[in-house]
Structure 1
Amino acid sequence: MYKLMIVEDEPLIRMGLQKYLDWKDLGFQEIVEAENGAEGVDIALKEKPDLIITDIRMPLMDGLEMIGSLRHKLPETLFVIWTGYNEFEYAQEAIRLGNVSAYLLKPLQYEESLKTIQDCVKKLESKREQEHLASAMQHNLVENIQLKRSHFVKQLLEDGEAYSDSRHLAALIGVETANLLMQPFVLSYVPETVPSPQSRTWWRQNAEKLLASMLQQFIPSMERQLLFSYISHNKMYAFTILVEENTPLILSPGMRREAESFLRNVAAGRSIQLYLGQGTATSDIKTLASLLQQAENSLFARFSGDGQHMYELQAAAADPMRSVLMQLGDKDKMQLLSCLEHGDMKQLQLLMRRLAQDLKSKAGHIPMEQSLGFIQEVIATAIRYAGKHGINIEEMYHQRLLYFRFVDDFDSMPVMFDWLTDWMMQLRSDAGQAAKSDGSLDTAVFEQIEAYILQHIDQEITLQMVADRFFYNPSYLSRLFKIKLNKNYMTFVTEIRIAYAKRCLVQSKVPMTDVAQMCGYASYKHFVKTFRKLTDMTPSDYRKQMGMMD
């Protein structure tokens, strides 16, 4: 829709022009007025109309002067002169000079006037199409450049040697890379609960913007700097090129406090935490991959519980604890296996909490690799139990558990060990069920899944979320639904939602639109359609049948 402006010193003529044509039908949603050229300039700059119809002779400033003042300030606006025969030569000259698109002759002839305005509308439509095309092309160009930069970081991480040629980087930034400093960062997103699809989407869409916004506070010319980034799961690997300031970005204590505050404020209310690791700046691209790894490793310090959100990998100090080898003792291994064998979950919880506290107390003193090695020993002990009881760990359980990706989901050692304890309890349950049947899980697991879905019935609950909650490989869980229940996961969830809806419809007089939302349906129309598909009646008919409506 377009905006029209009429500039005319006679009020009755302005009113007549507004009613002369069906402006809404022509595509004009709003009409503004001015009674002379001077007022027309002020109003036009404020309202930015798409089309201006103006008289020529007016007090204070005539129409041609007004057009001359506005032409370069409003290059997308079309101008139409409203003129008499004695001013016709002025109008033709204005059109010839390119200031005016068309003219309307007094007295108006309806058909001619309508055609003139329709021609103007076609020009406006053509301009908008060109603008949209140019915008789309620019967007695609920017996206293409961003994809290439993201691919560069990905390849750098996967094969630093192959991408250590500075010519790759020079081609992406358009300047020589000599004497340029590259400042590496890793931004980490840690969910406080099982992350929802919306939370993951928010992270992927906003991670780069967040880092760029934060860096702008510390690098005055950041809007002209180049940021390369690549997102992998819960981490974004990035580096910025300090084109103008050829010095490393060293944050003062005050700047660090601002950065910490920024990260906390962004995370507030989102059930997440954000952590930033900063690596050492370098002018040698051959070292960039290892420095990104350095920035990533610095994030492990969050497990020390110091409350910080920004880290740098510090040089190893003379700490006597660094020489202490952190290993899971034989006694603890035997106790862990005994707890699993006998189903002593209380003792298992106590053991795991003690191990978590031991590791937390040393996390800031021993190398990260030692901490991860200790966690690996704990998991390996549980895998021994699984193997003894015929549980195929790689097929059944989630890869994030087997390949240590779960570490990125936590910022507290006790919470992470509680999560591992829950997995071991699930492992014990799965082993018990497998022993009772043919070696595969019994249908009892679906009762646990149903209980979980009912706890979150008003939310979107994906197969991935359920798999994460019960530690299963999503592919394995999907096959399990087919084999054991002869239905897919979505059918399973839908049946639970509609069964819950039936109870809500019978047990209360809550409006049916509210029942739909209570059962996880954002669209009432979709709720009714699904309810009818499963019950052969609408929710309203069901409530009547059950005697809940007058």
Structure 2
Amino acid sequence: MYRAVIVDDEDVIVQGLSKILPWEKYNCRVVATAGDGKRALELIRTLEPDMLITDIRMPGMDGLALIAALRSEFPAMQVTILSGYPDFEYAQRAMQLGVARYCVKPSKLNDLEEALAEMVRRLEKTAAEAAQPATGAQAGESAETPAPESEGAQNFIIKNALQYIEEHYAEKLTLTDVAESVYVSQWHLSKLIGKYTSQSFSELLNGVRIAKAKELLQDPSLRIWEISERVGFTDVTHFSRIFKKMENRSANEYRNQVLGGGSR
């Protein structure tokens, strides 16, 4: 029996979907409900349901980022979006992330049942494909090449993660902070960073910080320790070590040789 989670900040909708949809007809049952995205993430990571029906715009959460996170971490899970906004561009982006259906509130019962049927159809197709024996080459391809919608979700996550780092590099930033901003586990984000940048999180963050430091070194009025603090390093010695490792010269040498500034 397929397990479903329903997420909406309007309790009347959650209760309505739980009761009016013909779950048993499609061999499904509702195992949990949530009123916000944060709680939904906790439930999904614990229960790993087969399908999700969720509102796309809830307080304090970016709906598309949430969908991208779920599609990346749980690529087999099928998702139907409920939205009070008939925004074609928004719907198109959601579909590119692999969403099964995009239903506009108030949705007709027939539309919701069709969404349920489509999610079940996809789950059955996936199960049937998994049951078929694959050749060595096919098995290798399947393991290394994600589905297009999963790839799209991963790209979406990495783009948002890099943007968050660009905006918060000067803070005491951790992998957990960035992972929470894009709604994935830190383990999953670490894996995606390695896949798309061939770097670790610390290497990526240091790269952004050193790039910003090189910009600040163009101002001869700024001392090295001031630049170190401005780009997020709490220890100027550590900053100097990282700068030299990445640029093969000290920050002072960079300023003197490349920009012609005085030593500080």
Q: TM-score, normalised by structure 2?
A: 0.49
Which one has the largest radius of gyration?
1
| Structure of higher RCO (CA pairs closer than 8 Å, 6+ residues apart) | 2
Q: TM-score, normalised by structure 1?
A: 0.25
